[in-house]
């Protein structure tokens, strides 16, 4: 085990989380999620695997959850047959079997792209399928992500506090935006070393990369694509919450503006395409809801905003075309980030990964080669290549049930946060459909999904402990 600069920071955060208890600790937990490059410690003996701050936070929160009275009943309620969570448990069982046995069963029968740090080779290489340290590390990452889901679902099932969830998302957003802005400022000033204590994971750091002369924003992540992925999820949450927030003095627009800024500033083409796809889905959803009479408390406002946006589309297209034609810097940026992306070396390489992942899917008789065995660049193909058709179907069934869930508590704030959480998950998913190397949608997605399932699984049989910030039992 290798101690790094951020080890003491992470241990201090974990101690603070324990001192604050599971519910206030949930806010700290979400604050750690944007720190995707901060390691608790590294494991050189296990293929250079890094145990991240968020990984240790999941373990800490999981232990605190298990120590609560009546937690068995909460877990059984969350995992009830017919609910979304049971699909995740079936998926984890299948993924564990596939990861532990299929690389051995299908060893040498297909060529795979995978990450290698051996034999003086560092990067993506093609080699015959065989068991590797990546299988264990990716299975561990999936278990930690699903652990984040269970923690969020169980705690919110017991205490369905929409304001607590909103606070946790606000804190995560504030940390994400702040670190992103600091990243750009320190990089421009030549003092990027100030962020070295939170960039200790054993990942390739793409610091200092530029696109059309613009420094790429990576924040607490190793590269702009991962930063953009997180930004799209937050953008989806705040766009939905802003649409349904009727407060005349509300400052929700500030959160939406901040997440929009870091999304655009990330210069990640996959984030742009994912955000565009999400916006289409969101507009269609709002239009359908209003048209079917399910617009809820903000039907008129939503309809007015949707119609206004539709009316602005021609002007946006004309303005964008004028900028593209008349401003060389703009045309260069658009060409590099979007129009010429597929024909670039990176685009060609990623298409090769996807083609090989589908070949791995067929070569393993649609069963998959196990987590960590296959490198792809699309969520569906990554699922096919690693967990096969059974695992991918289980994940899709989970998503279907989660997006169709409804909150038990029908008060206005709960419904607003509940819908925003779904839209945040939709934002993550749309970006993953553009670029994703594994079927793991990461901790933040599953934490949001856990909040959704927790609010939907709430029953009136268990006491609701409010307010959580003063309740002794919440500790």
Report yes or no on 471 lying in a domain. no
**C-alpha count within 13 angstroms, C-beta hemisphere, residue 449:** 30
pLDDT top residue among 453 and 302: 453
CA angle, residues 394, 70, 412, in degrees to nearest 5: 70
Q: Are 243 and 283 in contact (CB under 8 A)?
A: no
Give residue-wise pLDDT tens across range 157-174: 988 999 999 999 999 999
> pLDDT at position 119, please?
42
Report yes or no on 2 lying in a domain. no
Give residue-wise pLDDT tens across range 353-367: 888 889 999 999 999
Report yes or no on 421 lying in a domain. yes
Confidence of residue 188 (pLDDT cuts 50, 70, 90): confident
Q: What is the mean pLDDT of the chain?
A: 83
> pLDDT at position 428, please?
96
Evaluate if residue 304 carries a pLDDT over 80: no
> pLDDT at position 112, please?
84
Closest Cα to residue 428, out of 438, 442, 407, 418? Answer: 442
**Is the pTM for the entire model greater than 0.95?**
no
Report yes or no on 256 lying in a domain. yes
- pLDDT more than 70, % of the chain: 79
Report yes or no on 472 lying in a domain. no
Locate tokens 């034609």: which residue?
A: 325
Give residue-wise pLDDT tens across range 73-115: 888 888 888 889 999 999 999 999 999 999 999 988 888 876 6
Report yes or no on 169 lying in a domain. yes
> pLDDT at position 71, please?
87
> pLDDT at position 397, please?
95
Give residue-wise pLDDT tens across range 221-248: 998 889 999 999 999 999 999 988 766 5
CA angle, residues 403, 255, 148, in degrees to nearest 5: 45
What's the 3-state SS for the chain?
A: CECCCCHHHHHHHHHHHHHHHHHHHHHHHHHHCCCCCCEEEEEHHHCCEEEEHHHHHHHHHHHHHHCCCCHHHHHHHHCCCCCHHHHHHHHHHHHHHHHHHHHHHCCCCCEEEEEECCCCCCEEEEEECCCCHHHHHHHHHHHHHHHHHHHHHHHHHHCCCHHHHHHHHHHHHHHHHHHHHHHHHHHHHCCHHHHHHHCCCCCCCCCCCEECCEECCCCCCCCHHHHHHHHHHHHHHHHHHHHHCCCCCCCHHHHHHHHHHHHHHCCCHHHHHHHHHHHHHHHHHHHHHHHCCCCHHHHHHHHHHHHHHHHHHHHHHHHHHHHHHHCHHHHHHHHHHHHCCCCCHHHHHHHHHHHHHHHHHHHCCCCCCCCCCCCCCCHHHHHHHHHHHHHHHHHHHHHHHHHHCCCCCCCHHHHHHHHHHHHHHHHHHHHHHHCCCCCCCHHHHHHHHHHHHHHHHCCCCCCCCCCCCCCCCCC
Evaluate if residue 465 carries a pLDDT over 70: no
Least confident of 2-6, 69-73, 110-114: 110-114
Evaluate if residue 1 carries a pLDDT over 80: no
Question: Please, what is the end-to-end C-alpha distance for the chain in angstroms?
Answer: 32
94 φ/ψ sector (left φ>0, alpha ψ -120 to 50, else beta):
alpha
> pLDDT at position 391, please?
95
Q: What range defines the domain where residue 364 resides?
A: 7-457
Dihedral sign of CA atoms 252, 255, 259, 265 in order: positive
Q: What is the total count of domains within the chain?
A: 1
Backbone angles phi, psi at 216, to 5 degrees: -80, 135
Report yes or no on 463 lying in a domain. no
Evaluate if residue 373 carries a pLDDT over 60: yes
Q: Are 250 and 391 in contact (CB under 8 A)?
A: no
> pLDDT at position 46, please?
66
Report yes or no on 452 lying in a domain. yes
Distance CA 144, CA 316 (A): 42
pLDDT top residue among 429 and 124: 429
């Amino acid at each position: 085990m290798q101690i790094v600069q951020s080890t003491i920071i992470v241990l201090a955060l974990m101690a603070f989380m324990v001192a604050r208890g599971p519910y206030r600790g949930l806010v700290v937990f979400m604050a750690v999620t944007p720190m995707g490059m901060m390691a608790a410690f590294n494991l050189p003996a296990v293929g250079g695997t890094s145990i991240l701050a968020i990984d240790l936070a999941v373990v800490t929160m999981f232990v605190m959850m298990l120590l609560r009275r009546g937690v068995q009943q909460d877990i059984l309620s969350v995992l009830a047959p017919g609910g979304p969570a049971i699909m995740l448990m079936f998926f984890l069982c299948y993924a564990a079997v596939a990861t532990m046995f299929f690389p051995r069963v299908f060893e040498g029968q297909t060529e795979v792209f995978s990450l290698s740090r051996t034999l003086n080779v560092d990067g993506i290489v093609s080699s015959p399928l065989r068991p590797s340290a990546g299988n264990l590390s990716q299975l561990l990452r999936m278990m930690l992500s699903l652990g984040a889901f269970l923690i969020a679902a169980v705690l919110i099932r017991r205490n369905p506090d929409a304001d607590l969830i909103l606070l946790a998302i606000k804190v995560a957003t504030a940390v994400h935006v702040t670190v992103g802005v600091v990243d750009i400022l320190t990089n421009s000033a030549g003092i990027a070393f100030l962020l070295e204590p939170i960039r200790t994971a054993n990942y390739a750091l793409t610091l200092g990369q530029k696109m059309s002369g613009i420094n790429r924003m990576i924040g607490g992540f190793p590269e702009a694509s991962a930063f953009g992925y997180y930004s799209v999820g937050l953008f989806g949450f705040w766009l939905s919450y802003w649409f349904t927030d009727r407060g005349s003095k509300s400052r929700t627009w500030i959160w939406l503006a901040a997440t929009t800024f870091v999304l655009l500033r990330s210069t990640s083409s996959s984030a742009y395409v994912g955000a565009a796809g999400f916006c289409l889905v969101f507009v269609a959803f709002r239009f359908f809801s209003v048209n079917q009479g399910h617009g809820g408390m903000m039907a008129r406002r939503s309809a007015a905003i949707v119609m206004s946006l539709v009316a602005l589309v021609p002007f946006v297209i004309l303005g964008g075309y004028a900028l593209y034609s008349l401003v060389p810097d703009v045309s260069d940026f658009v060409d590099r980030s979007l129009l010429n992306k597929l024909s670039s070396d990176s685009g060609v390489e990623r298409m090769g990964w996807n083609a090989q992942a589908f070949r791995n899917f067929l070569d393993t008789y649609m069963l998959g080669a196990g987590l960590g065995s296959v490198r792809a660049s699309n969520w569906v193909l990554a699922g096919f290549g690693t967990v096969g058709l059974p695992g991918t179907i289980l994940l899709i069934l989970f998503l279907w049930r989660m997006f169709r869930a409804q909150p038990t508590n029908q008060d206005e704030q709960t419904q607003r946060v509940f819908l925003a959480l779904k839209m945040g998950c939709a934002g993550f998913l749309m970006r993953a459909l553009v670029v994703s190397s594994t079927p793991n949608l990461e901790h933040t997605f599953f934490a949001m999904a856990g909040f959704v399932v927790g609010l939907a699984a709430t029953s009136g049989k268990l006491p609701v402990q409010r307010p959580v910030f003063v309740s002794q039992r919440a500790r």
